[in-house]
Structure 1
């Protein structure tokens, strides 16, 4: 920015402060503008999201109670009933320091860039560019994959419900692919033509999210036969063939970790949130508390109605044995009806994932980090609401590519989805490590409404340690001696994507990308 332009912006900002008054809404506007000014960003999007809508966004992206149902096969095979419960509780507790660390940075720098901005601003000066670029690439990888995973999950559940209702129907891979693309296309249309009403939509979805929870647990409480409570909390299992039950439980932790992925989605919407430096971190913490509670109740309920873990889960050929458990617990109609909320939440999760992912890519393109950044960062007004339309279209294109991989092999596409935990985990590690480094070196940090204070160092250190452990575990296969069909290929795919990122850096981004830190104004 030239000196004259910066002087005019500073004068305008100072005048705005002088005219601020004491009204609470006015003060929140001033704080939002002050944050944007400090980060050197221009307000291109509209701040029409409020606290409740952000809570709805984050709760539905995590969908912990649905995610724990979908991924519980992993923990039941590696840990059994008791292992699933205790590992879930431990993961829930350990996730809080991670979320608190991210929430503090979201309060310091409430920007759509999220982690890559924080890495750029807080990392050692010599490593700011490469580390920030890596963080942005990992975030893009995780969120673009998250979109496809949500759409694919909804598609598979819908087709499985159809097969339950019609025993002669057998879902085919091309059915799954086409339905995944259709769901992604509908999610894109919802984001584009419903942009003005998305804050209201998030509030409604939050209500549906809670109602869907009760649609499942109440029938299971009332109609299903339960195993004795001592089996729920004492029966461990090691069906994966690991050397010990303890190791099996550690491997099974992936199920619980998956159920808490995505809380950073709130940060990518920060430039569209009123009172962002306060609302975003608070809703991130509240999301973990609400979702953690719902997930725990759902997990205990679900496990209590499984009569035979080996028969109903381990030996099941279904990608989602939960439907069979629901049918056994009630009847065919009950099983289908109880699966509907899970499919609906997966669809809503796809809508929200496009929302968050498109903002992250748009922000990265704003810093000239993406190939053809001028296309990705274009903002279009729809019914008076500015949206990063091209980034949304690009997200749909990536979803289509991933969905087509399912035609080659379901194992390939599942390994791609396995990248979510690894890429997001590595991203969290990088950003939290940078703010921890500044604290250990005695460097100053931006003032923010949400602070960890004197607990910052131990909380950050624990968060890095736990997230590192969880990320390593995410590369483990389901069984100790995997075949080609159940091998976890995510490490190989991650390496391939990393190679693409490196090539892009040296081909496109190295000469243009400087990182957000170059725009940041000094904080007091």
Structure 2
């Protein structure tokens, strides 16, 4: 049965607490809004508004992400680094506003494909929601791959710095480090669910602290060790073009850094069923995370441009394998570079952890609706391990380890991990906004957050930008005639994902995939295990506290 949305999604009938199987789950407003979309409450709601924001902000991991993507922006010079970030972030914020409208009205873990199904025309809704679900699922897993691959490079660059650039990691070593990182994320996400919201809150302080420390330390170190910082004219007005593209297009390609960095705000949507007061918490989490990265990222890049070696080619081709490592080394020396790169690596590790959590929730929601292979297995929610989709956490981990094998091939294949995240998620974000604009304006009922009369212009701007961003990320970054090592395989990988999903739907899934399924009033496989686990649950500290 297709899910239906009530005309009053924002009702708050009381402030009493809903208790399910001896454990506090939600207040009735959240449970009722979720029920209006056809779903019963199965996950524990224990993420506050700040902690929902922290999930996205932690995944974005501002400074580590900037460090991982400097190779996209440095070729355009300081203007590309600084103003490319500012302009692209503005458009990303517009997308966030369009998503916030939808997230407030209909907060559910599988929001993107749910919204698509709800707003699209009847003859397209099933195929489009199927496509969006797969694009978003694989895009999030691709994000895990790219973040943890960046972590592996960052961690191994420490060894290179310690040995003064005389050692570099082979591809098997990089992959082994990457796989160990992903596996450790699965362990932590499974067994540390109790403290996960606190970990996310701590990540806010770690990210902001790292930004402030870098902004203060780099100019001081530059002045003490290598003379004065670069002038304001250089920072805000100097252009270069280290590609064979025209200078204007080199500037546009610099947008890839903020596009990849500020690319996880939909994780707030996927935490909707674990957020308290979700209709407010989720849209605020989306906008706070984008806005924070917009402002703090602009500040960081201004400072980086002020201290960077004007021989940008030397920075790009650093023997440390990381442009940011070279920037720290030039300004702060060996010990300073080791210290800051160590902290960067730690923060990036927790970025990957946060994305494993968000990706598992999206994938769990998609399996709840029967869309993924082995959905009946993966949609199980463990009552023993704090109402978490443990099987799906490990499904995501295994998928990331397998997809990560691409990094064993060459640098171009490794770069495909970045493109899978960017293009896949852009399509998943844009489709429900497009469907609402074209087919669903009359069906939309605003939630606690709403942009009012600006909602339609915002949606149009967001769609145009996302279409452009998908095309942009498919261009080779070095020039129009790349060799195999510099080729951008985004179009190959993402076309395989999109066409594969549509082909799978046309041949098989159309026979059984009917869109989001109602679970209100139904007995799920998770519920069947409750009686076997009730005695353990009732003796837990959480159950005693709830009673």
**Change in 2 beyond 3 A, CA 1:516/1:510:** same
Output aligned runs, 1:105-504, within 5 Å: 105-167=102-164, 168-225=166-223, 226-243=229-246, 245-316=247-318, 319-383=321-385, 385-438=386-439, 442-480=441-479, 481-504=481-504
Range 213-222 or range 36-45, more displaced: 213-222
1:73 maps to which residue?
71
Asked if the contact 2:157–2:321 (Cα under 8 Å) also holds between the matched residues in 1, the reply is no
Deviation string 1:299-324 (CA, Å, 9 cap, x unpaired) is 11111111224333344465421101
TM-superposed CA distance for 1:114, in Å, is 1.8
Q: Deviations over 1:126-146 (max 9, x none)?
A: 211000000001001110111
Contact 1:64/1:292 (<8 A) preserved: no
Cα distance, 1:98 vs. partner?
A: 0.4
Tell me how far 1:519 sits from its aligned partner.
Answer: 7.7
Distance in 2 (CA, whole Å) between partners of 1:111 and 1:59 is 20
Secondary structure of the structure 2 residue equivalent to 1:418: helix
Q: 1:411: Cα distance to partner? A: 2.1
The separation in 1 between residues aligned to 2:243 and 2:286, in whole angstroms, is 34
Pair 1:387–1:401, CA change in 2 (3 A) = same
Please state how far the C-alpha of 1:166 moved relative to its aligned partner: 2.1
Shift of 1:214: 2.3
**What does 1:54-73 correspond to in 2, within 5 Å?**
54-73=52-71
SS of structure 1 residue aligned to 2:387: strand
Asked if the contact 2:103/2:282 (under 8 Å) is kept, the reply is yes
Alignment partner of 1:29 is 2:27: yes
SS across alignment from 2:27: helix
- What is residue 13 of structure 1 aligned with on the other side? none
Alignment partner of 2:45: what SS? coil
Counterpart-to-counterpart distance in 2, 1:22 and 1:199: 23
The 3 A distance-change label for structure 1 pair 315 and 206 is closer
3-state secondary structure, aligned to 1:516: coil
- How far off is 1:21 after superposition? 5.8
Render the CA deviation track for 1:99-134: whole Å, top value 9, x for unaligned: 011111111111000210110111112211000000
Q: Check whether the contact 1:371–1:509 (CA below 8 A) recurs between aligned residues.
A: no
Q: Structure 1: which 5+ residue stretches go unaligned?
A: 11-15
CA separation in 2, counterparts of 1:22 and 1:351? Answer: 33
Structure 2: distance between partners of 1:75 and 1:21: 49
Residues 222-241 of structure 1 show CA distances to partners (whole Å, capped at 9, x for unaligned) of 11141112111111111101
Deviations 1:397-423 (A, max 9, x none): 112112322222232122132121111
Q: 1:432 to 1:519 in 2, by over 3 A?
A: farther
- Give the alignment's TM-score, normalised by structure 2: 0.87
- Whether the 8 Å contact between 2:101 and 2:450 is mirrored in structure 1 is yes
| Alpha-carbon separation, structure 2, partners of 1:107 and 1:257 | 24
- Shift in alpha-carbon separation, 1:318–1:429, aligned structure 2, 3 A: farther
Equivalent pairs, count: 502
- Is 1:65–1:299's contact at 8 Å kept on the other side of the alignment? no
- State the TM-score, normalized to the length of structure 1: 0.91
Q: Distance in 1 between matches of 2:208 and 2:367?
A: 36
The 1:382/1:519 distance shift into structure 2, 3 A limit, reads closer
Partner residue, 2:101: 104
Instruction: Report if aligned partners of 2:268, 2:282 keep a CA contact under 8 Å in 1.
Output: yes
Q: Deviations over 1:434-486 (max 9, x none)?
A: 121246xx513124101121111101001111111111101111111311101
1:72 Cα deviation after fit: 2.0
Q: Is the 1:195–1:382 contact (alpha carbons within 8 Å) kept by the matching residues of 2? A: no
Q: 1:95 to 1:137 in 2, by over 3 A?
A: same
Q: What is the rounded CA distance, in whole Å, between the counterparts of 1:346 and 1:461 in structure 2?
A: 34
> What does the per-residue CA deviation read over 1:181-231, in whole Å, with 9 as the maximum and x for residues that have no partner?
111111111111101111111111211121122232221021114111211
Q: Secondary structure at the match of 2:42?
A: coil
Alpha-carbon distance in structure 1 between the residues aligned to 2:360 and 2:285: 21
Determine the C-alpha separation between the residues in 2 that align with 1:223 and 1:52: 34
1:318–1:334: structure 2 CA closer, same or farther, 3 Å change rule?
closer
- Cα pair 2:90 2:294 within 8 Å, conserved: no
SS of corresponding position for 1:239? coil
Structure-1 separation of matches of 2:327 and 2:59: 25
